[in-house]
């Protein structure tokens, strides 16, 4: 049976500033969006949506040709709603991906739309989870 659990841990560094760690030893600081350069949780959500799909797409198209450009803009509107709660709407990933001229580049260009569609419709765990609306539970451990 495959290991399906994914987990990160975090510790408070200061008010609204946290160090998040993965099991492999990587870390990133996350903040509330003040004057520092830390990513906010919403920015991390946008990054996760975009890079999850980018990885899926990159694996498929790079088998055909190495991209000469591979970038994306991920955007959405943050809604503050007293009745339904804060959330993001109008989430969108806009890729800019180019390939060299020639037969291999043509093959990659041809595969690109299908790869993007497969990622969106089936492969990207992050955007699929957001679109399907998976419940989140929260608990507090006794001190």
User: So what's the pLDDT on residue 36?
Assistant: 85
In a domain, 140, yes or no: no
In a domain, 100, yes or no: yes
The radius of gyration computed from the CA coordinates of the chain, to the nearest angstrom, equals 18
User: So what's the pLDDT on residue 1?
Assistant: 52
User: So what's the pLDDT on residue 68?
Assistant: 98
Range of the domain at 10: 1-39
User: Hey, which residues does 72 pair with through a beta bridge?
Assistant: 95
Would you call 68 exposed, middle or buried from its count of C-beta atoms within 10 A (0-12, 13-18, 19+)?
exposed
In a domain, 142, yes or no: no
Residues 33, 62, single domain; the answer is no
Residues 80, 18, single domain; the answer is no
Residues 68, 98, single domain; the answer is yes
As for how many domains the chain has, the answer is 2
User: So what's the pLDDT on residue 143?
Assistant: 74
Residues 32, 14, single domain; the answer is yes
Residue ranges of the chain with pLDDT lower than 70? 1-2
pLDDT digits (tens, 9 = 90+) for 120-136: 999 999 999 999 999 99
Nearest to 112 by CA among 46, 63, 50: 63
């Amino acid at each position: 049976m495959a290991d399906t659990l994914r987990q990160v841990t975090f510790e408070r560094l200061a008010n609204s500033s946290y160090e998040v760690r993965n099991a492999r030893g990587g870390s990133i600081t996350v903040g509330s969006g003040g004057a520092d350069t830390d990513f906010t949780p919403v920015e991390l959500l946008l990054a996760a949506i975009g890079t999850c799909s980018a990885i899926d797409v990159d694996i498929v198209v790079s088998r055909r040709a190495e991209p000469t450009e591979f970038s994306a803009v991920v955007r959405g509107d943050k809604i503050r709603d007293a009745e339904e709660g804060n959330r993001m709407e109008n989430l969108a990933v806009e890729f800019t991906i180019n390939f060299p001229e020639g037969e291999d580049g043509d093959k990659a260009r041809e595969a690109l739309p299908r790869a993007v569609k497969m990622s969106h419709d089936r492969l990207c765990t992050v955007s699929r989870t957001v679109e399907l609306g998976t419940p989140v539970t929260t608990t507090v451990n006794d001190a």
